Amino acid sequence: MIRAITFSLTLLALFVPTPTWSQDQMQHEHAGMSMSAGGPTQAELLSWKLESEGNHHLIGFFVALAGAFILAQDTLNKRFPAVSYVWPVSFLLSGLFVLVYSDTELWPFGPKPWIQGTITNPEVIQHKVFAVLLLGLGLVEMLRAQERLKAVWAAWVFPVLAVAGSVLLLFHSHNAGMHGENHMAVMARIQAEHLSYAATGFGIGLTKGLTEVNTRWHAVFAKLWPTLMIVLGVLLMFYTE
C-alpha cells in the first residue's frame, strides 16, 4: 500500500505542471487599484481569478492523468502492478486539494474560521461537497484495487457519484464572477463551461455504469469512460474566467 502510494506520488510529481496562479499571482498581488469604494479591488479580483483558474487546471490534470492510466492499466500492470493504484490516488489527492485549498479565505490561509466560513457560504459548501465526492471515489476505488472491497454495490459507487457530481455542477454558484467589468459575460462563460463539465461527467457516470452490465458493448464502454475522463480533464485545464 505504502509503496503504491509512493510510486503514484512520484509519478504525479514528475508530470504535474506548476499551477498558473502560483507564479502569476505573485506578480500581481501588490497591484492596488481599487474598483470602487467598499468593493473588491482589481488586485483582489485578479487574485480570485488566478486562484480559481489554477485550481481548475490542477484538478483537470489529475482527472486526465487518472483517465490515461486507466486506459493503459492492462498493459502497464504486467510490468508495474502498482499502476492500478495511480488513478485512485489521483482522486484522493484531488479531493484533499479541494477540501483544503479551494477557498483560501478560510483558515489556515485566510482570516475566516474554517467551519463558520464554510457553512455561511453556499459556494464554499459546494466546494467541500465536491471534495467529499472525490475522496469517496478515491477511497472506494483504492479498496477495490487492493481487492479489500468486493461487494457488488461498490462497483456502482463511481457511476452514482459521477452522476450526482454532474447534477450538482448545474447548480454551482460562482460569486467571484459577479464582480468586475463585463461580469454578465464572465458568468455566461463560466456557466457554459460548467455545463460542458456536467455533460461530460454524466457521460462518464453512464458509460462506467454500463461497464458493470454484461453486454456485447462492454469492451467499448470500458474504453469510452476513461476517454471521457481525459476529455473532462482537458476541459478543466482550459478553464478560464
pLDDT of residue 196: 96
pLDDT of residue 85: 93
Backbone angles phi, psi at 44, to 5 degrees: -65, -45
Residues in contact with 115: Cβ distance below 8 Å, sequence separation at least 6, in sequence order = none
pLDDT of residue 181: 67
Output the tens digit of pLDDT for each of the chain's 241 residues: 444 444 444 444 333 443 443 444 433 333 343 344 456 777 877 888 888 899 999 999 999 999 999 999 888 888 888 888 999 999 999 999 999 988 888 888 888 898 888 888 888 999 999 999 999 999 999 999 999 999 999 999 999 999 999 999 988 876 655 565 677 888 888 889 999 999 999 999 999 999 999 888 999 999 999 999 999 999 999 999 8
What whole-number distance in Å separates Cα of residue 164 and Cα of residue 92? 18
pLDDT of residue 49: 85
- Amino acid at position 237, single letter: M
Residues in contact with 52: Cβ distance below 8 Å, sequence separation at least 6, in sequence order = 174, 176, 239, 241
Asked, as a colleague might, if the bond just before 108 is cis with ω within 30 of 0, I would say: yes
Q: Which of 126, 110, 135 is nearest to 118 (CA)?
A: 126
Domain ranges of the chain: 2-31+40-237
DSSP H or E run through 183: helix 183-210
pLDDT of residue 27: 39
Residues in contact with 57: Cβ distance below 8 Å, sequence separation at least 6, in sequence order = 17, 19, 20, 236, 237, 239
pLDDT of residue 26: 37
DSSP label at residue 151: -
pLDDT of residue 103: 87
Instruction: Show the CA angle centred on residue 154, arms to residues 152 and 159, nearest 5°.
Output: 110
pLDDT of residue 221: 96
pLDDT of residue 241: 81
